[in-house]
Structure 1
C-alpha cells in the first residue's frame, strides 16, 4: 500500500515537471502569479508537493518568491539573456574542447549525418530538430564526463528553452543554426578542439544577436 509520504515525492516531481514545461513553453509567461491553492488544485496535488516543486523552480531561477505568499514566474529580458549567454560561452566552448579530446568520434559523426539530413518544414520538422539538438547536448555531456560542468549546463539549458522560443519563428535563423551545429559536430568527430570551440563561439554569437534583434523588433512593434 502506498502511503502519503511515499506518494508525495512522485507528486512533487510531477508538479515540477509540468510547471517547468509550462514556463519553458510560455504557457505560464513571465509575471504569472503561482498561487498555491490554485496551482495545487489545477495540478491535482496537495500543497506540500507543490511547495517542493516551487522550491526547485526557485533554485532553478525560473520563479521568484516575491513574498512568503506570492510566487511568480521570473521575468527574462535582454540583460538576463546577455548574462545567460556569457555563462553559455564560458561553459560550452570549454565543453567543446574537452569533448573533442574525450568523446566518441563515431557518435558525433552520426549526429553530423543527422544534421545534414535535418528538415525544418513545419512544426514537426522544427520539433524534430530541437529533439536532435537535445540528443547532441546529451552526447556532449557524456563526452565531457564532468559532473560539475554538466550540472552548470543543465541550469543554463533550463533557461535556454524559454529563450529559444524567441528564435523559433525565424526560419532563416534556424537554417543557420543547423549549419552551425553541423560544423561543431564535424569538428568533434575530427577531434579538432580549436575548431569545435570556435564554431561554438560563432554559433552562440549569432544566436544571441538574433534573439536580441527579435526582442528589439517586438518592443518597437
Structure 2
C-alpha cells in the first residue's frame, strides 16, 4: 500500500521545497536543478519529482515537459488576476466570519495581530507566515472549508510572487492596521464593514505589488 503523500518522502520534500520557494531562497525565475536539490534534501530524484509535480499542481512551480520545472515570475496580469479571485473569496469569508465568529475566534485573531506587531517593531523582515496566520484565523472564524481551501492556494501564489519584491515597511505597517480594522468589524458582528475593510486591504496590497513589479523592472533594465 502506498503511504499518503504527507507521510512519504515526497510529502516531506513538498513541505521543504514549498518553504524554499515561498521564502525566496529559490528565487522566481530559477530553474529547479533536480540533481543538486535531491542531494541537498538527502532523497532520490523519484520522490523529488513527485514533490515537484504536486507543487506544480498548486501553481507554486511551472513544470514544462522535457524541460523541467522552474519558479514562476510575476507579471502585472498575474497579480491582477490573483487579486480579483482573492477579493471574491476573502470578502465573502470576511462577511461569514463576522456572522459566525465566536469569542474564541476573536481571541485568536487578536493574538495573531499582537504577535505580528511585535515582530514588525522588532525590525525583522516581516514573516509571510504571520500574514497567512491572520488570514487563516479569519477563515477559521468563517467556517467555510471550501472557501478556505481555495483561499490557501491563492494566498500561496501571492506569497510566491511577492517573494521576489523588496520589503516595503510603510506597506507592512498599513497591512497591520488593516488587520486590526478587520478584527474590529468581525468582533462587532458587522459583515458589511468586514467585507469593505477586506476589499480595501486587498486593493492596496495589489497596488503595492504592481508598484513593486514596476520598480523591479526598471532596476533590471538599468
The verdict on a shared fold, with TM-score over 0.5 as the criterion, is: yes
Aligned to 2:38: 40
Structure 1 position 123, deviation (Å): 4.4
Q: Tell me whether 49-58 or 64-73 shows the greater mean CA deviation.
A: 64-73
Task: Give the 5 Å matches for 1:15-54.
Answer: 15-54=13-52
Match of 1:58 among 29, 51, 56: 56
Aligned to 1:148: 146
Instruction: Rate the CA distance shift 1:155–1:68 in 2: closer, same or farther, 3 A.
Output: same
Instruction: Rate the CA distance shift 1:6–1:177 in 2: closer, same or farther, 3 A.
Output: closer
Post-superposition Cα deviations, 1:35-89, rounded to whole Å, max 9, x if no partner, equal 3333222211112211210111110111112123522222222111111101110
Aligned to 2:132: 134
Instruction: Rate the CA distance shift 1:207–1:167 in 2: closer, same or farther, 3 A.
Output: farther
TM-score by length of 1: 0.86
TM-score by length of 2: 0.86
Structure 1 position 220, deviation (Å): 1.8
RMSD: 2.5
State how far apart, in whole Å, the 1-side matches of 2:168 and 2:99 are: 34
Please give the secondary structure, in 2, of the residue aligned with 1:126. Answer: coil
Post-superposition Cα deviations, 1:186-219, rounded to whole Å, max 9, x if no partner, equal 1001110000000000001111111111111222
State how far apart, in whole Å, the 2-side matches of 1:154 and 1:46 are: 29
Aligned to 2:81: 83
State how far apart, in whole Å, the 1-side matches of 2:213 and 2:86 are: 19
Post-superposition Cα deviations, 1:130-158, rounded to whole Å, max 9, x if no partner, equal 55433322322222222211110110121
State how far apart, in whole Å, the 1-side matches of 2:59 and 2:4 are: 26
Instruction: Mark the runs of 5 or more structure 2 residues left unpaired by the alignment.
Output: none
Residues paired across the two proteins, number: 216
- Is the CA contact (8 Å cut-off) linking 1:106 and 1:189 kept in structure 2? no
Instruction: Rate the CA distance shift 1:167–1:108 in 2: closer, same or farther, 3 A.
Output: farther
Aligned to 1:180: 178
Instruction: Rate the CA distance shift 1:166–1:38 in 2: closer, same or farther, 3 A.
Output: closer
Instruction: Mark the runs of 5 or more structure 1 residues left unpaired by the alignment.
Output: none
Aligned to 2:9: 11
Aligned to 2:121: 121
State how far apart, in whole Å, the 2-side matches of 1:7 and 1:208 are: 36
Say whether 1:214 aligns with 2:184.
no
Instruction: Rate the CA distance shift 1:99–1:7 in 2: closer, same or farther, 3 A.
Output: closer
Aligned to 2:192: 194
Q: Tell me whether 198-207 or 17-26 shows the greater mean CA deviation.
A: 17-26
Q: Tell me whether 155-164 or 104-113 shows the greater mean CA deviation.
A: 104-113
